Amino acid sequence: MILEGSGTRGGRYEHIELSEKLAFPVSVTLQGHRCIPDDHNCLGGLGLIGTKPIQEAM
């Protein structure tokens, strides 16, 4: 699993390419939700904005 946070904002999507190449699920933190396109096949957020699939993946 790859956890995207605000630190990946300037990454020009290398982190997304890596997750797709390795077939790793992606989750985002509350502050990192803009680091990945809304249409990407990620699991969603953690914590208060978390989803059941991300909780199961953790």
pTM of the model: 0.65
| Domain boundary assignment for the chain | 2-57
Structure tokens, 2:
């790859």
- Can you give the pLDDT of all 58 residues of the chain as single tens digits? 888 888 877 767 788 888 889 988 888 887 877 777 777 777 777 777 677 777 787 7
